[in-house]
Amino acid sequence: MSGNGSSLGNLLEVSGLNVAYGESKVLFDVGITVKPGQVVACVGRNGAGKSTLLKTIAGFIKPSSGTVTADGANLVGLTAYVVAGMGIKYIPQDKKVFSDLTVQENLELGSYASKDYEWDKVYDYFPKLKTLLDRKAGYLSGGERQMLMVGRAILGHPKLLLVDEPTEGLAPSIVSHLKDVFGELKKKTALVIVEQNLPMICAIADKIYAVSEGHIMAEITERDQIKPEVCEKYL
């Protein structure tokens, strides 16, 4: 399924995207669109190409063909740090923070890059971080690391957050907290979330793309269709 949707009002448009790792093709003619303030989810099995899609948008992987545009600007060929500078922040799956740095230093890195030193909004979403400022990030729990990564990414008022499997391996209470945070964040920024936790993602998503073996198998936009039992058949 190739690119779809009108270009009018779209924050992000991915169209005819083909990506390969050497000889191995991973994404086939993929197209997605994201409007401002939307939460768009990509669901699918492991190895379906969801993370590759996010990394390609973020500038880490150069596609073999296709277009990626954000606010009309072509992102293909731009390096990751330039894409990040344009307000498109990628939050990777592995929850690896800069372990030798303290929480405060991790946030400072985010602040300096985005010229945004207003940490109150980070504390509003994640009050716990305020109590952990002096702690080395390497000593944080998985949930605290995810809070730090999201908190760091929202500095600078990004227009789009690309979030890769944010709830993987986290306790239910943290998952619930992150769901609320993403629900709040969508008022200010668009999100593309790769997620396998269907109840969580269906509760906040405005649109879901089902990805399988590098193809977009379905685009679910009807609110009453965005539910775990509908998505499940694509997993």
Residues that bind other proteins (CB under 8 A): 58, 60, 79-81, 84-85, 89-92, 96-101, 105, 108-110, 112-114, 134, 152-153, 156
| In the complex, minimum distance from the CB of residue 100 to other proteins, in angstroms, rounded to a whole number | 5
| In the complex, minimum distance from the CB of residue 149 to other proteins, in angstroms, rounded to a whole number | 9
| In the complex, minimum distance from the CB of residue 148 to other proteins, in angstroms, rounded to a whole number | 12
User: Which residue, 54 or 226, has its beta carbon nearer to other proteins?
Assistant: 54
Q: What is the dihedral of CA 49, 204, 91, 42, to 10 degrees?
A: 10
SS3 111: helix
Compute CA distances 28 → 53, 166, 211, 212, whole Å.
Answer: 10, 25, 11, 10
User: Which residue, 109 or 203, has its beta carbon nearer to other proteins?
Assistant: 109
User: Which residue, 80 or 230, has its beta carbon nearer to other proteins?
Assistant: 80
User: Which residue, 138 or 172, has its beta carbon nearer to other proteins?
Assistant: 138
106 DSSP 8-state letter:
H
The tokens describing 70, both together, are 């954000």
Phi/psi for 234 (5° steps) reads: -95, -5
Q: How many CB atoms lie within 10 A of CB 172?
A: 10
Compute CA distances 172 → 18, 64, 113, whole Å.
Answer: 36, 39, 32
Strand 215-220's sheet: what is its strand order?
A: 88-91, 160-164, 190-194, 39-43, 207-212, 215-220
User: Which residue, 15 or 106, has its beta carbon nearer to other proteins?
Assistant: 106
| In the complex, minimum distance from the CB of residue 139 to other proteins, in angstroms, rounded to a whole number | 10
User: Which residue, 98 or 123, has its beta carbon nearer to other proteins?
Assistant: 98
| In the complex, minimum distance from the CB of residue 182 to other proteins, in angstroms, rounded to a whole number | 18
Residue environment code for 32-51, b if the CB has 16+ CB neighbours within 10 A, otherwise e:
bbbbeebbbbbbbeeebbbb
| In the complex, minimum distance from the CB of residue 81 to other proteins, in angstroms, rounded to a whole number | 5
